[in-house]
Amino acid sequence: MAMVSLSGAFRKRVLMVYLTAGDPYVDSWVIETLSEHGVDIFEFGIPTARPKYDGLTIKASYRRAIESGVTLEKSFQFIEGFRLRHKVVLTYFEYARSIGLERLMSYALNAGAEGVLLPDLLIDYSEDADVYVRLCKQYGFEPIFFITSSFPYKLISEVARLNPAFIYMGLMASTGTLLPITISRNISIIKSLINNTPLLTGFAISEPKQVLECIRAGADGVVIGSAIIRLISGGGEKQHIKEELRNYISSIKEALEAPV
Amino acid sequence: MNILPSHWYNIVPDLPKPLPPPRDPEDDYIFSRIELLPKLFPSELLDQEFTAERYIQIPGEVLDAYRRIGRPTPLVRAVNLERLLNTPARIYFKREDLSPTGSHKINTALAQAYYAKKEGVQMLTTETSAGQWGSALACACAMFDIRCLVFMTRSSYIRKPYRRILMKLYGADVVPSPSDRTEIGRRLLMENQEHPGSLGIAISEAVETCMKDGSAKYAVGSVMNFVLLHQTVIGLETMRQLEEIGEIPDVMIGCVGGGSNFSGFIFPFIGNRLKDGDFKNTEFIAVESKASPKMTEGSYIYEHGDTAGYLPMLKMYTVGRSYVPPPIHAAGLRYHAAAPILSLLIKEGLVKAVAYTQEEVLEAARVFARVEGIVPAPETAHAVKQAIVEAEHCRRRNLKKTIILCFSGHGLLDLSVFEEYGTY
Ligand SMILES: Cc1ncc(COP(=O)(O)O)c(C=O)c1O
């Protein structure tokens, strides 16, 4: 179990890493290496055949997991298998609803996760946001909300008042897909609407200079997914990949902790 | 008062719900349409597509170009029409027909040509049907000195020689679509040498050209957020003009192809309602053609903007990208979908949609031309028809409503329509 609450992780800047639960490339040594070198929160995706907001890298990762026979239960067993500082579960609400949100929450709790992130909740199912918040309370989770730069100001301020562990801002239209968007402007606008609510920013972040840009604009941390999946699925010796992961994470951490 | 605004208005931060993001088809693991976007559009336009900013400064060069093509455009009271209809309502129309190419399309064409030029793009490609959009882009490309390639639906290419000539006069390269210049074009031509084409196919051809030619980018005439953004110059001007004469609109009307003129016209007003509670009693009415009834009969789903599916899917009211509407003269209204932002406002009940047949609207156009002296474009005739319906309703109920319509373009290059229909 975690020693501090999820929101407590934000006493310093946070690095969250996305991995698909059950992707054959996500070996235990991968997770251990990432954890040892300072990844603060692990975000585990439950494989789905309908990855709405994912780019090619994460879609491929989902597909590998499904093709290797990972089911809902197995993906939670996978998540349960790791003792980490913080774990959260990511799945689309569309899927959560089909299996039952409450069932998903109880699986998440049993697997030692501290929260459930549903990226399409406020976009396609805003009328179900209340149910989500109530179930979070019931299961002892702090809520987490996913937003984008195309969210109404009012809604952003409203969800900030629900005391989420953090708000996750998707910077691009889909994961891992870089578009020429001025992220610093969008982040600082969003940050001005949410007071002190921790803000994590992600989608297509791969380089330290992007991390700096996010932090300088007011983000409290970053999320990296596709870049790490590319690194572990690109082939090569385990020892070599380990080394690469270590170097990569330290370069990101260095940018993250730079004074602004 | 300065009527021409210094900023465009982005309604996205004020919408009642989050705008659903563009998406890739879930079952395609090889080709990402979203990844393709930077190859298609200049960076600054994509940045505008996803900006969280409410007001976006209009670049000086674009403002200057706006002035040179005749902005601000006048807001005129249709006194003769009021008298003819014997209505207590007051009818105003915003004259977007007064641009060099005769429609509102120039408002975004100038912006898109400017940003493309600034980024060193050599050529803009696009689609057009009746030629309103194509000629606006050709004009803007001429003004910003950049090459222009227009895929014009074959049926219009043959039937609408004047806008084709106009585009060529501006120096654009105009080809009938489907053409042999693209894969999708060649495939369709194989099936049918005389293929009449459609906007969806022409878009696919323009996009495919950019996928293969790194120095070309794609210019889009409607639907995308940034196009609607540029068109807000219409509504922002209208708002100031109404303020000057002390009018508050009761009804605002516009025609919808992809939704750009209507959205640009109403967004500043709807935005004020959502933000500050102004214009609470204003009704916003979108008028479409019964030939392509996406708003009144379509579904609110994710669909591609083009026939081939080269573009990402957007959540919008649509009759489906493979729907082939019957050929109507208001070719600009034959598009299969309504812009995502406009669709969201319809879904949320802030905008009402109605549809008319070609015969009904051409008759309205004739009536309007007879009394006001200005011939509406067949697209614009849809808005005129609804304005007349509203004004007649006011006569029956003795209501002194203020009706404002977006007069998106003139029909001087569509005159054959009236002859064909015998609507003199
Ligand atoms: C005069 C005129 N009005 C309206 C339209 C419809 O387009 P939109 O709905 O994007 O304004 C067109 C499109 O070609 C047009 O030429």
Domain layout of chain A by residue ranges? 7-256
For testing contact with chain A, the best of B19, B31, B34, B229 (most A CBs within 10 A): B34
Residue B365 near residue B381, CB atoms below 8 Å: yes
Q: Is the CA virtual torsion A132, A120, A178, A240 positive or negative?
A: positive
pLDDT at A1: 45
DSSP A18-68: EEETT-TT--HHHHHHHHHTT--EEEEEPP-S--TT--HHHHHHHHHHHHT
Query: B332: Cβ below 6 Å to ligand 1?
Result: yes
* Structure letter (DSSP) for residue A224: E
Output the average pLDDT for chain A: 96
Average pLDDT (A131-155) is 97
Which of B18, B43, B312 is nearest residue A152 as measured by Cβ atoms? B18
pLDDT-derived band at A98 (thresholds 50, 70, 90) equals: very high
Residue nearest to atom 14 of ligand 1 (CA): B332
Distance of alpha carbon A20 from its chain centroid, rounded? Answer: 10
Q: Which residues contact B370 (CB under 8 A, 6 or more apart)?
A: none
Strand residue runs (E) in B70-158: 75-77, 90-95, 123-128, 147-153
Superfamily assignment of A7-256 in CATH?
Aldolase class I (3.20.20.70)
Whether the pTM exceeds 0.95: the reply is yes
User: Looking at beta carbons, which residues of chain B come within 8 Å of A60?
Assistant: 29
Q: Hey, are the CB atoms on A173 and B312 less than 8 Å from each other?
A: yes
Q: Measured in angstroms, how far is the CA atom of residue B281 from the centroid of ligand 1?
A: 26
B354: closest CA of chain A, how far (Å): 26
Radius of gyration, alpha carbons of chain B: 20
Q: Hey, are the CB atoms on A150 and B23 less than 8 Å from each other?
A: no
Residue nearest to atom 16 of ligand 1 (CA): B132
Residue A258 near residue A215, CB atoms below 8 Å: yes
pLDDT at A122: 98
Q: In this complex, how many residue pairs, one in chain A and one in chain B, have their CB atoms less than 8 Å apart?
A: 98
Which of B20, B32, B44 is nearest residue A124 as measured by Cβ atoms? B20
C-alpha closest to that of B149 among B209, B65, B227: B209
Report the C-alpha gap between B273 and B259 in whole angstroms. Answer: 20
User: Looking at beta carbons, which residues of chain A come within 8 Å of B23?
Assistant: 52-53, 173-174
pLDDT in tens, A244-253: 999 999 999 9
Report the C-alpha gap between A147 and A96 in whole angstroms. Answer: 18
Q: Measured in angstroms, how far is the CA atom of residue B3 from the centroid of ligand 1?
A: 23
Tokens of A89: 């579960």
Please report which helix (H) or strand (E) contains residue B21, including its range.
Answer: none
Q: Hey, are the CB atoms on A181 and B30 less than 8 Å from each other?
A: no
Which of A149, A152, A186 is nearest residue B17 as measured by Cβ atoms? A152
In 3-state terms, what secondary structure has residue A3?
A: coil
Q: Measured in angstroms, how far is the CA atom of residue B27 from the centroid of ligand 1?
A: 34
C-alpha closest to that of A48 among A65, A25, A30: A65
* Structure letter (DSSP) for residue B38: H
Residue nearest to atom 7 of ligand 1 (CA): B257
Q: Measured in angstroms, how far is the CA atom of residue B46 from the centroid of ligand 1?
A: 22
pLDDT in tens, A158-209: 999 999 999 999 999 999 999 999 999 999 999 999 999 999 999 999 999 9
Q: Which domains does chain B have, with CATH numbers?
A: 7-59+105-225 (3.40.50.1100), 70-102+233-420 (3.40.50.1100)
Q: Which atom of ligand 1 sits closest to the CA of residue B227?
A: 10
Query: B259: Cβ below 6 Å to ligand 1?
Result: yes
Nearest CA in chain B to A126: B17
Please choose from B95, B99, B105 the residue to mutate so as to test ligand 1's pocket, defined by most ligand atoms within 8 A of CB: B105
- 3-state SS of B81-101? HHHHHCCCCEEEEEEHHHCCC
Q: Hey, are the CB atoms on B34 and A126 less than 8 Å from each other?
A: no
A66: closest CA of chain B, how far (Å): 13
Query: B133: Cβ below 6 Å to ligand 1?
Result: yes
Residue nearest to atom 1 of ligand 1 (CA): B409
ipTM: 0.96
Report the C-alpha gap between A209 and A180 in whole angstroms. Answer: 15
Q: Which atom of ligand 1 sits closest to the CA of residue B130?
A: 14
For testing contact with chain A, the best of B9, B30, B32 (most A CBs within 10 A): B32
Residue nearest to atom 10 of ligand 1 (CA): B260
Q: Measured in angstroms, how far is the CA atom of residue B186 from the centroid of ligand 1?
A: 28
pLDDT at B423: 64
Query: B255: Cβ below 6 Å to ligand 1?
Result: yes
% of chain A residues with pLDDT over 70: 99
Query: B103: Cβ below 6 Å to ligand 1?
Result: yes
Cα separation values, B223 from B14, B262, B264, B285, B327, Å: 18, 11, 11, 18, 21
For testing contact with chain A, the best of B10, B30, B31, B35 (most A CBs within 10 A): B35
**pLDDT by residue, tens only, chain B of 424 residues:** 699 999 999 999 999 999 999 999 999 999 999 999 999 999 999 999 999 999 999 999 999 999 999 999 999 999 999 999 999 999 999 999 999 999 999 999 999 999 999 999 999 999 998 899 999 999 999 999 999 999 999 988 998 899 999 999 999 999 999 999 999 999 999 999 999 888 889 999 999 999 999 999 999 999 999 999 999 999 999 999 999 999 999 999 999 999 999 999 999 999 999 999 999 999 999 999 999 999 999 999 999 998 889 999 999 999 999 888 887 788 889 889 999 999 999 999 999 999 999 999 999 999 999 999 999 999 999 999 999 999 999 999 999 999 999 999 999 999 988 888 776 6
Residue B414 near residue B102, CB atoms below 8 Å: no
B275: closest CA of chain A, how far (Å): 9
